[in-house]
Homo-oligomer: A and B are copies of this chain.
Amino acid sequence: MVKIAGGFGASELFQFLRDGEPRTRAELAQLTGLARSTISLRIDELLEHGLVTPVGEAVSTGGRPPAQIALNPGARVVVAADLGATHGRVAITDLSGTVLRSVFEDLVIDNGPEVVLDWLVLTINRLMVECDRPISDLVAVGIGLPGPVEHESGRPTNPPIMPGWDGYDVPAHMRRTFSVPILVDNDVNIMALGERAMGWPDADNIIFVKVSTGIGLGIIGGGVLQRGAQGIAGDIGHVKIPRGAGVVCKCGNEGCLEAIAGSPAIIADLRGIGRDITTVAELVALVKSGDTSAIQAVRQAGRDIGEVLTVCVSIINPSVITIGGALAQAGEHIIAGVREVVYSRSTPFAAEHLSIVQSRAGEMAGVAGASIMAIERALSPEGIEGIGA
């Protein structure tokens, strides 16, 4: 059973409309487990706003053929924004999540919410013009930020790398310009949503690992994104690992995973033995060039991450662990390290059914997830109320 977030009724329905296949109301009731009356109510709302359309004729066992319904993906659009520490990717997508237009630009999250969100507003307006869509076609905005977010309110909470953002009302800022639902979440969470949609639609227990400057997890458990009590579920960067003994992390503690296996640590180690690199991209290039020290360093980072993931496997019992983030571009070496540790340490029963693989969604995971988060809200009963007919 496929569910993404806490909406009642609408999200389950959306899951089965999203693939674009025409289905009858009876089929949708069966697939979602919702009552026929509930399905009809939802479909009528969606029809009224042109978000779904009746199509063709279904084969019936007699009498009037039951009408099929399909998503009308072009009826409206959403914004999907994946904002990182130093770059942002912003896309306009249709209601099936297909990207109509996107940009990838430098940004400095440290400039604070006013500057960054004003840039986002301008970028959205520009992309809408380039798509030739009026602003009235926009039905929701999904935003991922590189820090913990209280999803209900859309406010960052104690973000370690985002000075000025703590408690900032991101939705209120965006609604000055766009009077539509504004959904905000942690970047790793939206990546997990995107990874699942693009790569593993049938898996209900997935761990998405982002490996870059920071190391974090996006966790889907029982088909639902797990945010935790304060929105910091999956925040494993400061778990203590054995190899970290004596290494002080910028958080003040000793032995944190991020301080050993994050890209700054790997880059510093390689610089220490004479490699002239400063960015993750350069590290990835060095690994791809076949530099043995770089390959060994990245593989060891995979082992370190595997130490923590082994515990995650016992706790979450996932069927898939998928590795993404900038450092995952270094290819199989990180994954080889992760597998080495996780498969040898997990119980045979848990390991037997577990795939550990590279992200299928790649660098588009974030915008794919932000788009899904936005579309789901737009098509929910509460979202539809706000859409003009």
Contact = CB atoms under 8 A, between A and B. Distances in A.
Interface stretch (A30-38, A114-122, A271-279): A30-38
Contact of A235 (B37, B157, B317): B317
B239 A311 contact: yes
Task: Tell me how many chains of this kind the complex includes.
Answer: 2
A231 B228 CA distance: 20
Interface string A221-261: 11111111111111110111010000000010100000000
Nearest to A231: B317
Interface stretch (A78-86, A100-108, A342-350): A342-350
Contacts of A38: 9, 34-35, 37-38, 41
Task: Tell me if A's interface is mostly helix, strand, loop or mixed.
Answer: loop
Given A224-B224, A251-B347, A315 B230 contact: no
Interface in A42-66: none
B381 A35 contact: yes
B318 A232 contact: no
A32 B3 CA distance: 17
Contact of A229 (B217, B229, B318): B318
Given A1-B6, A221-B228, A222-B224, A315 B234 contact: yes
Contacts of A24: none
A318 B228 contact: yes
A353 interface: yes
Contacts of A240: 310, 345
A8 B13 CA distance: 12
Contacts of A32: 8
Interface in A303-344: 308, 310-312, 314-319
Nearest to A240: B345
Interface of A: 1, 3, 6-9, 12, 32-35, 37-38, 41, 148, 157-158, 203-205, 217, 219, 221-236, 238-240, 242, 251, 253, 308, 310-312, 314-319, 345, 347, 349-350, 353-354, 381
Given A229-B318, A229-B354, A239-B314, 10 more contacts: A6-B222, A8-B9, A37-B41, A203-B229, A222-B225, A226-B226, A230-B350, A232-B317, A232-B350, A235-B350
